[in-house]
Structure 1
Amino acid sequence: MSGAGKTTALQVLEDLGWEAIDNFPLRLLASLVDAEAERQAPIAIGFDSRTRGFAPADIIEQCEGLADQSDVELTHLFIDCSDGELERRYNETRRPHPMARERPVAGGIKAERELLEPLRNWAEILIDTSELATNQLQQVMRERFGKSRDREMTVTISSFGFARGLPPLADLLFDMRFLDNPHWVPELRELTGLDAAVAHHIERDPGFAPAFSQISRTLLELLPRYGAQDRGYLNIAFGCTGGRHRSVYSAERAAQVLREAGFSPTVVHRNLGNRPADPLERS
């Protein structure tokens, strides 16, 4: 989608050593791939509704034809964004939407979404930038395309609060709101899942041990299978209501389990810095 972050994505790929080409004439796509066949660097070709000769059906047909060649490997990435966020971005920058013409920005976004729907459904990878800042999109691109397939899968474990929105990129998500909420214990409210007192409170919950044991077995079963499918990345998210207690502790424990199994996960606590707020803590 125009305004979703294609330019940023191409810039990151260029920094990673790809040859990035934007809005390349589609009728020349096969010739470009054939001409670059001997090059070692991969090619990133970006296109949107402004590209000359743009027609989703033709793009899909050309790419599927290229994919049949034994010396060509294709990955299809669609960068999406919610209509409301796209409209906000265009209104903020005062840039004209390429398909708005004489109509409001919302009309151009709607028309473009309908046009691109076949490409969105066809793409192997979808990145939704509705809640991603530019630097976050850059990080996502580096995680997904920065390592070659003969390297270890990048595993990220994150904690978050449901009251503050779902994470946009979770592959596996575990809801820990069935556990007793430390927020309602006055002496634990200002603490987090990194503190021993909160950890002890969560571990005393009779539902924690059996559930976490099952989660651990699931992760240890699935991660090798994801790796066998040439996944370069995997995002695992643990959620609770506010994102400060149960999810944080669970994410840290899961990271410990995976490290003991030989993985090297990165841990990110999205809402750890948020202040506790009673109106958000319903469960």
Structure 2
Amino acid sequence: MTLVVVTGVSGGGRSTVARALENVNFYVVDNLPQALLLDMAELAFRAGGAARNTAMVLDVRSRAFSTDLAGAIRDLKGRGFQPRVVFVDADDEVLIRRFESVRRSHPLQGDGRLADGIAVERGLLAEAREQADVIIDTSHLNVNQLRSRVEELFGGEDARRLRVTVLSFGFKYGLPPDADFVLDARFLPNPYWVPELREHTGREEEVSRYVLGQNGAVPFVESYVRLINATVPGFEREGKRYLTVAVGCTGGKHRSVAIAEELASQLRHARLAANAQHRDLGRE
């Protein structure tokens, strides 16, 4: 299994690291008490499957957290695990600005200043920082840059790729609320009015051939293939992992289904991870 232990200073970006690991298919346990570190690792190992990539995020605020985090990591190694320890850090001045911007106190400052809490925490985490396999200084990283850094370290190329769902739907049933693009296929003649096609769907060859054979149908699909191809690098750069392209016709049975299948096929031909789904197929 792949086991990652994430720790670091409060305000350094542990939550962003946790979300980035989830993006690359890690099972993430946040705010885990140190005393449960070994138990959680053994549980994940026995579970296998989705837990074969597990990340455990340790927070100094846990009452079970002690000064011996480094010892707990050594215990993991002694039981045959090979954890990769990620330590998230930032300059004191940056941490102070981050806490002040959200008007939060440091979990260890007590009645003192923010700087006092940061100093206490650094003392508790000093040995763990020395043991870290990866130290990520987030002082000059924004959220997207930090996320990208983690995904580069722990996600394969497939895990970081944008996945496109081409979703057919019927306008009379309402717009899909999660659509990033909405395409309207109602400019094409409706196979519903062709008696021999009425009972068939856009997934069947005779309907697909009829729809795609109409004037403008193929250029319509090709134009959106070019558009989606042009936007994918930007979406990936901004951390988007799922894109929904909704294709609508009146009832979601003929035109939108045929167009969605063809669009998904052409996107796959362009080496994008794309699949077609049909929200309203079968509702009529």
Q: Is the radius of gyration larger for structure 1 or structure 2? A: 2
* TM-score, structure 1 as length reference: 0.49
